[in-house]
Amino acid sequence: MIPVLNERDNVDELCSRIRETLEPLEILFEVIFVDDQSTDGTIEKLEAIHASDKRFQAVQFSRRFGYQISIFAGLEHSRGDVVITMDSDLQHPPEVIPRMLAKFREGQDVVNMVRKNLGEKSLLKRAGGMAFYRLINFLSPTPMALQSADFRLYSRQVVDVIREFPERTLFLRGLVGWVGFRQANLEFEEGTRTTGETKFSFWAMVKFAADAIVSFSTSPLYAALYIGTALSVTGGIYGVYTIAQALFTDNYPAGWPTIVCLLLMIGGAQMLLLGIIGIYVAKMFVEVKSRPRYIVRTRIGIDHQDS
């Protein structure tokens, strides 16, 4: 199962490498692309690929619903006993799929692929990724493998369980950790994108991280209690210090700078906490409306409808 967005120049090579990897294994397989409303002719390319090889199928959304929803749609449309999700930019090499299948045959229900060549990424991305995984593992009781990707093997039992989850704000790496089952981590060398551009800008990654934390932790909501307590204690200590200076010394503190600093500190903390609460309220608003996660515009080679 492969989510795709404006990857017209990559899908031919990807399909070729999938064939070269899986055909020698002599197993039945199908490949489902989920097109998140590409504008570069990706869906036409997928139609041509399907015309020559019926094992390659596609679903196209009516508009853009996002990367995580694309993966979920692929899980809903999948039929195999084993489902593998991977990206379409050639950074997730199909050549490691036999190793994933070997882990499944050993009894694993989930095989999480973990990047090991992090030295090739920029310092900012490495530091940001490490900070994200450390933070979410600290805030959330749900375990998550460091530097894991959405390159993953699921057993049919796990797929059927995940499909029953009702939430609209999806963070599948967290859901996989939450459901449990027998899981294994497997390292892989992440490939290099040769054509096209990444769809994860800095702000897209920030939003992704915020959604992940909100989906799997209520700890930020307790920040109001902690920060409020800290400010109250700090204010009390400073108040005692100010009174002592006024009573026992001639060095009476100037009021204006102190008041301004305290107001800025307290006001900033209040706005931060209101923003955190606002994110949770916004997610609740989306969940309460219970709109469909996605709408399918076109199915190519798929004659069943599970969503």
- pLDDT by residue for the chain (307 residues), tens only, comes to 899 988 888 888 899 999 999 989 888 899 999 998 888 888 999 999 999 889 999 999 998 888 888 999 999 898 889 999 988 888 889 999 999 999 999 989 999 888 876 555 556 566 666 666 666 666 666 666 666 678 899 999 999 998 888 877 777 877 888 888 888 888 888 877 666 566 555 666 666 666 666 666 666 666 666 777 776 677 667 767 767 776 677 666 566 566 766 776 777 777 777 777 777 777 777 777 777 888 889 898 887 554 4
Expressed as residue numbers, the domain containing 117 is 2-217+291-300
CA 158 to chain CA centroid, Å, is 18
pLDDT of residue 291: 78
- Both 271 and 124 in a single domain? no
- Both 94 and 67 in a single domain? yes
Domain membership flag for residue 307 = no
- Both 134 and 231 in a single domain? no
Domain membership flag for residue 305 = no
pLDDT of residue 306: 47
- pTM of the predicted protein model: 0.69
- Both 228 and 195 in a single domain? no
- Give Rg (Cα) of the chain: 25
Q: Which string of b and e fits 25-41 if b means at least 16 CB within 10 Å?
A: eeeebebbbbbbebeee
Q: What is the CATH number of the domain that holds 85?
A: 3.90.550.10
- Both 250 and 120 in a single domain? no
- Both 33 and 164 in a single domain? yes
- Both 244 and 190 in a single domain? no
- Both 171 and 47 in a single domain? yes
- Both 157 and 270 in a single domain? no
The number of domains in the chain is 2
pLDDT of residue 307: 45
pLDDT of residue 197: 64
- Both 163 and 226 in a single domain? no
Domain membership flag for residue 306 = no
